[in-house]
């Protein structure tokens, strides 16, 4: 349980920090110009918190724990990247298929972003769990 908690906290911190940098950097240059009035005027904290809590659990379960069982950091990063591609593609391609005027540029930016940020979170979770869980 200690290993899972350490992995969860480390993956969560890394994911949140890197994602916050992306979102603050890209909000005005990518998302706002392309999504316009599709965006909420005010950020809704509760759904974001639930997303992060659930998604970090997914990173630990699908990327960190298998890597701790064997394969090391490369496996954590690869599993994280694959999870990120699947999750972000699910969101973006569903939006692209169902929402009027969903910009292809958002989809094309989000999917590799999801792979990268999830790989970073998984790598941090693995590294911390390996180092501090004994």
pLDDT band (50, 70, 90) for residue 65: very high
> Per residue in 4-49, pLDDT tens?
999 999 999 999 999 999 999 999 899 999 999 888 888 899 999 9
Per-residue confidence (pLDDT) for residue 134, from 0 to 100? 65
For residue 1, the SS3 value is coil
Mean pLDDT over all residues of the chain?
96
Q: 111: exposed, middle or buried (C-beta count within 10 Å: 0-12, 13-18, 19+)?
A: buried
Query: Residue 127 is inside which H or E element, if any?
Result: helix 104-132
Q: What is the DSSP string of 37-58?
A: GGS-SS--HHHHHHHHHHHHHH
* 3-state helix, strand and coil shares in percent for the chain, rounded to the nearest 5: 90, 0, 10
Q: Give the model confidence (pLDDT) of 109-130 as tens digits.
A: 999 999 999 999 999 999 999 9
Please state the pTM of the whole predicted model. Answer: 0.96
């Amino acid at each position: 349980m200690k290993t899972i908690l350490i992995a969860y906290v480390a993956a969560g911190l890394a994911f949140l920090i890197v994602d916050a940098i992306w979102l603050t950097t890209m909000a005005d240059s990518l998302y706002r110009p392309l999504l316009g009035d599709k965006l909420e005027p005010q950020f809704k904290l509760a759904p974001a918190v639930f997303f992060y809590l659930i998604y970090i659990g997914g990173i630990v379960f699908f990327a960190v724990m298998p890597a701790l069982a064997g394969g090391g950091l490369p496996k954590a990063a690869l599993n994280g990247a694959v999870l990120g591609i699947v999750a972000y593609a699910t969101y973006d391609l569903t939006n692209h298929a169902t929402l009027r005027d969903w910009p292809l540029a958002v989809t094309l930016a989000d999917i590799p972003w999801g792979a990268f940020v999830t790989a970073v979170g998984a790598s941090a979770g693995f590294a911390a769990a390996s180092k501090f869980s004994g």
